[in-house]
Amino acid sequence: MLKAQERDKLREVLQLEKQRLLRNAQEGLSFAMNRDRTIGRDSIDESMEEELFSTELRLRDREKWLLGKINAALDRLEAGTIDECEDCGEKIEYRRLVARPVTTLCIDCKEEREREEQAQSMAMRGGPESAGLGAAPGESTTPADDSSGLDE
């Protein structure tokens, strides 16, 4: 169970990020509505502008997805369940929540998911696991210091 001060800190972090994303969404809408579509430019200029616009739309889509995760985290915070792992029900450490407030998994479950994703990815590419050449039972095939998981 989080202390009141810890809940307040998480709420503040989540609200600030939500406000930033909403501001970006408004700017993105303004960008889309006020695009200069000058006729008579060459095809390279037009294709560059379209590529920039496409990148901007992908970024906004990703921010929309993150906004949904922030809203869900705020709901879990209000319900008092933000520090409960959705897989095992164990406590998510406060330090992890400060680092990644939208997480829904404890560090052990997240690491397990990453191992499963890596094994699946390697199997799809024909890696060691698909050929039966993976690590011995209980041994990890990933470096111990691999902490590249940004999703959770």
- pLDDT 10s digit of each residue in the chain, 152 long? 899 999 999 999 999 999 999 988 887 666 666 666 655 677 887 788 788 878 888 888 899 999 999 999 999 999 999 999 999 999 999 999 999 999 999 999 999 999 999 999 999 988 654 445 555 444 444 444 444 444 45
In 10 A of CB 5, how many CB atoms?
8
Domain boundaries, the chain: 4-87+94-105, 106-152
4-87+94-105: CATH class: mainly alpha
Helix (H, G, I), strand (E, B) or coil at 38: coil
Res 90: pLDDT = 96
Contact by Cβ (8 Å): 106, 91: yes
Burial 54-90 (b: 16+ CB within 10 A, else e): eeeeeebeebeeebebbeebbebbeeeebbbbeeeee
User: Position of tokens 């993976």?
Assistant: 134
Res 143: pLDDT = 44
Q: Quick one: tokens of 96?
A: 């992890």
Helix (H, G, I), strand (E, B) or coil at 91: strand
Res 128: pLDDT = 59
Question: From the CA atom positions of the chain, what is the Rg in Å?
Answer: 21
Res 33: pLDDT = 64
pTM above 0.85, yes or no: no
Contact by Cβ (8 Å): 150, 69: no
In 10 A of CB 133, how many CB atoms?
9
